[in-house]
Each structure stands twice: as C-alpha cells, then as structure tokens.
Structure 1
C-alpha cells in the first residue's frame, strides 16, 4: 500500500489525483524510447476531469456565485459532468447537464446515477446554433434560479487545477526526466495547465497536442485560420471551436489521429497492456508511440494522458457492430474487440478466439 493510502479520507474528493504512471511495453515493442501512461482513469470518478470538477465547484463557492441549495449547470461530453456531480453530491447541489447525442449511453446513465438531470442535444449543429450543447447550457443557467454555469471551456480554474496537480505529479514521478508530454484538448485545460508547469521546470520539455481528424484545433494551430470541422467518433477530445482555456502558446506541436487509429490502439491497450481505457487514451497513445518511434532515443521520456475508463464505451469502441455501422474497420485479423461468445454446446476455435457473434456447433469440425 502506498503512503498516500495509509490514512482515512474525509470524503471522495480527497482521492482525486496522484494517479499512477505506468510504462507501456507491448504496444511499444521494438521502440527504444520509453512511453508511459498517466492513469487518470484511476481517479474516483474514472477520468482526468475529476481534477477540474472539484476545483470548479470550490472556485464557485469561494467567489460567492454558488450558494447552499444552488444548481450547477454545464455543457459536457460526460466526464466533466460526472466529476461535477460527484463533488456536488457531497454538498447537496442540483446538477443539470447538456450532453451531445453522439456521447455514449453509458455516460448518460452514469450522470443520472449521480442524480444529475441530463438534457440530450443534437451533435450535428454549428457552434452558433441555439441547440448546440454549450448554448443550451448557457440558457438553462440563466433561467434556473440560483444556478451557476461551470463553464469549463472558459473557466480559469480548469487549467489551474492541472498546473497545481497534474504537472507537479508528472515532474516528481519522472524525477524531472520527462521530455515529451502528450495530451488532447476538449477544453484545453489538461494540456495548458500541465504543459505550463512542465515548461517552467525545464525548457527541454516538448508539449504535443493530439487532435482527432475532423476537429478544428490542430488545423487552427497550424494555420491560424478557423477551418470547417467534420464528424469524428472519438469522445471528449477535439472541438468545433477554440476553447478559451486552451493556451496554444504552451503547445510545441499538434498531430492528428484518425478514429480508426485511435480505436485500434484503444483495444490494443486493453488486450496487450491490461489498460481498459477509452478512445481518447487510444488517440493520445497512438501519437505518443509514433513519436517515440521517430525519436529512437532511450534517454527521452514520453508521457501520454490516459483520460478515462473504458467501461463507459462498451456500446461503442468495444462493440464491433457499432464500429461497422460507423464504417470503422480495424483490419487486424478480424473483429478484435469483443472476444465473442460461445453458445450452449459450442466451443472455441483453434486459436482460442472466435469472431464476435459467431459460435461453433460441438459437432462441427474445428
């Protein structure tokens, strides 16, 4: 047992942070540069957003905007809502969240399990449309008496939470040897706050943003002009606008990753590293591993954020039918995600594996 867990805690929010750093081995086979994953899915709410959920509520209380009996309203892809609901549950605050309909059904159920009210909004509307999830959240916050908008996309408590926790943790865990930090940006809080802290410790640290193909952030970083975004399936990273909490001056480079590349790595992390993570982690790790391959430097230390827990994506990333419906083909020798189920009287084929949804009769030849 670590020293940190040798004492009792006052409440669940004290469990947030000091997540483990673990080396990735099989997905980096043949690569000399070490790659580590920061296990943010081991926060009590299952994601990196636990850090900002606590911080945003505390800031709202200290400023006097959030009072006893108040309501917390937020536009969320799920994880920030879960983090806010977890922290709010300790103090009796009501939570109302707007959630785009592309987000997994597991996230909706988790939010409601914490007592939150969920308003599902269309994903296929532009940022200036009244039905866009951020605009609906702003409207609800203005209409509900005693409500505050958490406003993670423009709230300075978001990157500051990472500047005060994630950055120092990584510096200590790598004993000051970190050379490359990989993170995505939904709001930009993680990459901006963590990156700023790390760069203050050493000007040798490179901060690399990772964006899904279809998001506007990476193209804007490269050109300075706002492109037109397109649809992508990775949740929690990327955006159709530039968040106010994203400090691009901290970022040295931005790379893009396709849904296919992200989900293939997500499943590899589960099957080969025992790390049951979501698609955003696969997206970031794919980019980190490719850069580590290019570096070919055993003295470099590459760190990737493993954003959240995979269980909230069982109906998506880990569901072969959903992948096929979205036109995503992982092409690695068959449907690699779910190992398949064997019906009564069936048996597993020669390789010990079966394609998902297939069974073999006990009488059929192997």
Structure 2
C-alpha cells in the first residue's frame, strides 16, 4: 500500500509548469512553481510546519498549547493544518484587507480569527502584528509564531523550495522571480540557488505602498513610501528579519490593477487558477523583459490558489468598482445613446397600436406596462409570424399576444453577460438608472457597443 500517514506528508514536491500565452512576449522560457498543490493550497505550508517543528524542538510549543500568529491567511492555513494533526489550538489575527474567503477557510479548519484594521502602523496597539504579540504574552501555554522574524521561515525554503527548483530545472535556472512579503521564500530559495550558481538573478516583486524596494536600494526605512494598497500577501511597511537583502538583485513594483488583471489572465489563458500575488509576479516579470535574453530560464513562484480570491480578483463587480476591469457595462450602453424616454404599450391597447409605435419610433421591441409594472413584451419578429397566419390580429388586444416581460438587469452588468438574457426567445432587457428611469437594451445595442 502506498499512502501518507497524515496530510502534512503531502507538503512539497510541487510541479514546475511551463507558461505559454501570458509570457509569449518574453524571449526565453518561463516556468511556474505551482505551490497551490500543497495541502493548504499555498507555499506557506512549507514554512508553517517547519516553524511548528522547530518550536517543538526548542520546547516553545508544548502539548495542548495554542499557536498564535498574525497572518494574511495562507500561513494561518498551514499552521492550522499542523495544529489539527498535532493537537494544538490556533488563534490568528488578520487585516480587514484580506478576502472573506481566507477568513472563512481558517475558521473551517478550527482556528479562531480576529480581524484587525489595515490602515494603522505596525506598532499601533490595534494592528494585527500588535494584537498577535499581545495575545502571545497573555495566553498561557501559547506560542507566538512571528513568521516575519522567525528564521525557520526562510530555512524551510532553503531546505525544500530551492533544491526542488534546482533539480526540476536540471540546474539551468538563471532567474528566480518571487512576489515577496515576509522575505522567507525569496531569501531561503534564493540563497540556496546562488550557492549553486552565483550568477542566478533573484528578482523580488513588490507593491506600490510598500517600503521594501526603497530599503533594498538605499537602506533607508522611508515611511513616506507606505500607504494603503489592495494587493494581498506581498509588500511590507517594515522589514522582517527573514530578509537578507544581499540575496536579492532587484526589486520591481507592480500596481494593484496590473497584478489583479494578470491573475485573471493566467487563469484564463494558462488554465492555472492562481492567487493575486502570482498575477503581480508575472506582471513584474513582463516589466523587466528588456533584461532577459533567449538563453535565460526563468522560474516564477505561484504562491497560492485562486479560490482565496473569488470574492475579489475573480469578482467582476469588485474589479469594476476599483477601475481594474476595462469592460463595458449596461450603463455604458445607456450613456452612449440619446437620452430618449422608454416607449411602452399598455395591455388593453390593440396590436395595430403596437405596429404604429414601432413604425413611428423605428423600434423592434416594446415592453408592456400596466401601472408601474412590466407584465409582458412585444417583439417585431414574434408579431410578424402571428400576423402572417392571422391578418385580422391587428384588432386584438396586446395582452392576448404578448410574450414574457423583458428581464431587468443592473446597470453595472457587463455587456458580455447579457447573452444569459438575450437570446432567440427574448430580444431585449430593461435596466433602471439612478433617477429611476427605465431603458431598453437590444441585440443591436450590444453589437454597437462591442464594435466601438
């Protein structure tokens, strides 16, 4: 029988996958180290179990103890899995910037989660760093992990991630690209690879709003670099002890939008359902394409799984609200037209009245309005077939020939999604603007919008 004794034995040995479409403009092959194959769906499983085992060896974590940590979600998941198997309790602090999915997943594996404000300094008593440190002092028989300064973090990658990448590339790797936060992955992996070949370039991807890039370049802790940003899991407003800046050759900053848009591209074009930081990593790599040559071999770390971000990066509404998604919506269609009032017909009017209105206003679809409710619809194509068979239908009432009412959609609905509503049986939808006025959108409107 071939099996694992427990889920922790499945950590590591993640696949290296060649990318094709999103890196097509680069002159060299690019490979993704796909870390969501770990049981907790992220690279953080590696260092989480390492930190727990080191704490056990040092007597810092005793049977029945409580693991306490400040986490953006992924480290917490790895620690929670270790706690389940080893019999510990978990209390995690996180920020209100993190996705709801991350918090829910941590709770699902038995952790207690405390959500703290994002926009405060690390030393603020309300920050998730400060709260986790305080709990570590107050709760008996507890161990405060401190992934930022716990060097077992980078040791895990020196012992595991680096050797795996070296073996998987047969020693041919020339560039390592990591979207970096705590510094453990890039420092541990980069240190191992540079010991094998000092010529290997280690590139860190940072976020605007983080001070890491400037600190790497100047050694200065410039708090004016720090401001709120949306990207999760990368960048810092302080420098964790896990960093050895001498290992890193270059820092590249990426915008929140570019990271989010690229994550969606990777999922759609490569079939790899990735998290936010993977998008940032590839976006940063593309910004550095002038530094690459055909003989290079690039490895990019894909930290976690897209399921952590279905309410954010993979949610059209969330993306559009932040201006990240360049899609046309129903509102764009309405705003591009002349502001004409909606033409309607009442159920007791005659079919001849319908024909007259369609001719007068040069339209194909009429909503049937009774009071303030839409109860049906009339379309030119549907009416045509009935009139051919029954010419005297002109004197019939609208309610006797009307079809189902047109669906009503939100103004923010992407045009592409209207295909769910507009089809052979139904030729239009209705929408209501901020002033409570209704507008009709037809197939012709969609074709016009997509053509512009």
TM-score, with structure 2 as normaliser: 0.73
**CA shift at 1:170, angstroms?**
0.4
Gaps of 5+ in 1: 1-5, 336-343, 347-352
Q: Which one of the candidate residues 290, 315, 318 is aligned to 1:319?
A: 315
**CA shift at 1:296, angstroms?**
4.8
The reply to whether residue 94 of structure 1 matches residue 155 of structure 2 is no
Aligned with 1:238: secondary structure? coil
In the TM superposition, 1:227-266 aligns within 5 A as: 227-228=222-223, 229-266=226-263
Q: Which one of the candidate residues 14, 27, 42 is aligned to 1:32?
A: 27
Q: Which one of the candidate residues 301, 309, 325 is aligned to 2:297?
A: 301
Partners of 2:293 and 2:161 in 1: CA distance: 25
Contact kept, 8 Å, 2:328 with 2:415, in 1: the verdict is no
**CA shift at 1:122, angstroms?**
0.6
Contact kept, 8 Å, 1:185 with 1:246, in 2: the verdict is no
Aligned with 1:27: secondary structure? coil
C-alpha distance after superposition, 1:28-71 (max 9, x if no partner): 22432111110011111000100011101100111111111000
Q: Which one of the candidate residues 422, 430, 447 is aligned to 1:361?
A: 422
Partners of 1:345 and 1:300 in 2: CA distance: 57
Partners of 2:159 and 2:292 in 1: CA distance: 31
Q: Match for residue 265 of structure 2? A: 268
The reply to whether residue 278 of structure 1 matches residue 339 of structure 2 is no
C-alpha distance after superposition, 1:321-348 (max 9, x if no partner): 21233x23233x558xxxxxxxx999xx
The reply to whether residue 143 of structure 1 matches residue 138 of structure 2 is yes
Q: Match for residue 113 of structure 2? A: 118
**CA shift at 1:307, angstroms?**
0.5
Contact kept, 8 Å, 2:316 with 2:325, in 1: the verdict is no
Partners of 1:309 and 1:198 in 2: CA distance: 25
Larger Rg: 2
**CA shift at 1:186, angstroms?**
1.4
Partners of 1:11 and 1:32 in 2: CA distance: 43
**CA shift at 1:289, angstroms?**
3.1
Q: Match for residue 363 of structure 2? A: none
**CA shift at 1:204, angstroms?**
1.1
Partners of 2:121 and 2:128 in 1: CA distance: 10
Contact kept, 8 Å, 1:320 with 1:356, in 2: the verdict is no
Contact kept, 8 Å, 2:23 with 2:30, in 1: the verdict is yes
Q: Match for residue 204 of structure 2? A: 209
Gaps of 5+ in 2: 330-404, 408-413, 428-441, 444-452
In the TM superposition, 1:145-184 aligns within 5 A as: 145-184=140-179
Q: Match for residue 76 of structure 2? A: 81
The reply to whether residue 15 of structure 1 matches residue 10 of structure 2 is yes
Aligned with 2:203: secondary structure? strand
Q: Which runs of 4+ in 1 moved over 4 A?
A: 356-359
Contact kept, 8 Å, 1:41 with 1:48, in 2: the verdict is yes
**CA shift at 1:290, angstroms?**
3.3
1:62–1:319 Cα change, 3 Å:
same
Aligned with 1:148: secondary structure? strand
Q: Match for residue 71 of structure 1? A: 66
What count of residue pairs does the alignment treat as equivalent? Answer: 344
Aligned with 1:203: secondary structure? coil
1:357–1:105 Cα change, 3 Å:
farther
Aligned with 2:259: secondary structure? helix
- Aligned-pair RMSD on alpha carbons? 1.9
Aligned with 2:46: secondary structure? helix
Q: Match for residue 130 of structure 1? A: 125
1:143–1:35 Cα change, 3 Å:
same
Relative contact order: is structure 1 or structure 2 higher (C-alpha 8 Å, sep ≥ 6)?
Answer: 1
Q: Match for residue 289 of structure 1? A: 286
Partners of 1:80 and 1:357 in 2: CA distance: 40
220-229 or 86-95, which deviates more:
220-229
1:150–1:356 Cα change, 3 Å:
farther
TM-score, with structure 1 as normaliser: 0.90
Aligned with 2:185: secondary structure? helix
Aligned with 1:158: secondary structure? helix
Q: Which one of the candidate residues 95, 103, 108 is aligned to 1:108?
A: 103
Q: Match for residue 341 of structure 1? A: none
Aligned with 1:255: secondary structure? strand
**CA shift at 1:312, angstroms?**
1.0
